[in-house]
Structure 1
Amino acid sequence: MTGDPEGGARLAEVRAAVRAAMAGSEVDALVLRPSPDFRFLGGRGGGFLVLTMDTAVETADPAPYVPEGARRVGVDPEMRVRELFALAIEAELVPATAVLAPLRLRKRPAEVEAVAAAAGAAEAVLAQARELAWFGATEREMAARLRLLLLEGGCEEVLSVRVSAGEHTARPAHPPGGRVINPGDALLVSVCGRWDGYCAEAGRVFAVAEPPEDFEAMYSVVLAAHRAALAAVRPSATAEAVAAAARAVIEGSGYGHFAARSAGRGVGLGHDEGPRLRPGDDTALEPGMVLCVEPAIYVPDLFGARVADVAACTAHGAALLTSGPHPLHVLDR
Structure 2
Amino acid sequence: MTILDELRGALRRAGVNALWISDPANVRAISGFTSGKDGRVLVTTEGATLYTDARYTVQAAGESSVPQFIARPPDTYLHAAAALKGLRVGFEADHLTVALLDDLRGHWPDSTLVPLRGVVQDFRIRKSAPELHSIRAAQRIADVAFAQVRPQIQPGMTEQDIALELELALRRAGAQSAFEIIVASGPNGAKPHGVASSRVIGSDELVTVDMGAQVDGYHSDMTRTVAVGNPSAELRRLYRAVLEAEEAAVAAVRPGMRAADLDRLARDLLTGHGLGEYFAHSLGHGVGLEVHEGPGLRGTSEDVLEPGMVITIEPGVYIPGVGGVRIEDLVLVTASGHEVLSHSEKEAL
User: What band does the TM-score fall into relative to the shorter chain?
Assistant: 0.7 to 0.9
Structure 1 residue 76 displacement after superposition = 6.5
Aligned to 2:47: 55
Amino acid at match of 1:326: K
What TM-score, normalized by structure 2, do the two folds share? 0.84
What TM-score, normalized by structure 1, do the two folds share? 0.88
Aligned to 1:129: 149
Cα-to-partner distance string for 1:42-98 (whole Å, 9 max, x where unaligned):
241432222222222122344222522222322363334443344433344445533
Structure 1 residue 324 displacement after superposition = 6.3
8 Å contact kept, 2:254–2:337 = yes
Partner Cα separation in structure 1 for residue 131 and residue 147 of structure 2 = 24
Identity of counterpart residues, as a percentage? 31
* Cα-Cα RMSD: 2.2
Structure 1: state its 5+ residue gaps: 1-11
Aligned to 2:92: 75
Structure 2: state its 5+ residue gaps: 53-72
Partner Cα separation in structure 1 for residue 213 and residue 114 of structure 2 = 29
- Greater Rg, structure 1 or structure 2? 2
Q: Choose from 280, 299, 318 the match for 1:298.
A: 318
8 Å contact kept, 2:23–2:92 = no
- Residue 108 of structure 2 corresponds to residue 89 of structure 1: yes
Aligned to 1:9: none
Structure 1 residue 25 displacement after superposition = 0.7
- Residue 44 of structure 2 corresponds to residue 25 of structure 1: no
Which deviates further from its counterpart, 236-245 or 84-93? 84-93
Partner Cα separation in structure 1 for residue 194 and residue 234 of structure 2 = 22
Relative to 1, partners in 2 of residues 1:125 and 1:324: Cα closer, same or farther, differing over 3 Å? closer
Map 1:1-333 onto structure 2 (within 5 A): 13-33=2-22, 35-44=24-33, 45=35, 46-60=38-52, 61=73, 62-63=76-77, 64-65=79-80, 67-75=84-92, 77-87=94-104, 88-90=107-109, 91-132=111-152, 134-156=154-176, 158-323=178-343, 326-328=346-348
Relative to 1, partners in 2 of residues 1:257 and 1:133: Cα closer, same or farther, differing over 3 Å? closer
Relative to 1, partners in 2 of residues 1:278 and 1:210: Cα closer, same or farther, differing over 3 Å? same
Amino acid at match of 1:126: F
Partner Cα separation in structure 1 for residue 241 and residue 177 of structure 2 = 33
Amino acid at match of 2:326: R
Structure number with higher relative contact order (C-alpha < 8 Å, ≥ 6 residues apart): 1
SS of match in other structure, 1:131: helix
Partner Cα separation in structure 2 for residue 120 and residue 195 of structure 1 = 10
8 Å contact kept, 2:220–2:288 = yes
Structure 1 residue 34 displacement after superposition = 5.7
Partner Cα separation in structure 2 for residue 28 and residue 161 of structure 1 = 42
8 Å contact kept, 1:243–1:279 = yes
8 Å contact kept, 2:311–2:332 = yes
Structure 1 residue 30 displacement after superposition = 2.3
SS of match in other structure, 1:110: helix
Amino acid at match of 1:300: P
8 Å contact kept, 2:222–2:328 = yes
Partner Cα separation in structure 2 for residue 185 and residue 259 of structure 1 = 20
8 Å contact kept, 2:89–2:112 = yes
Q: How many residues align?
A: 318
Partner Cα separation in structure 2 for residue 20 and residue 139 of structure 1 = 49
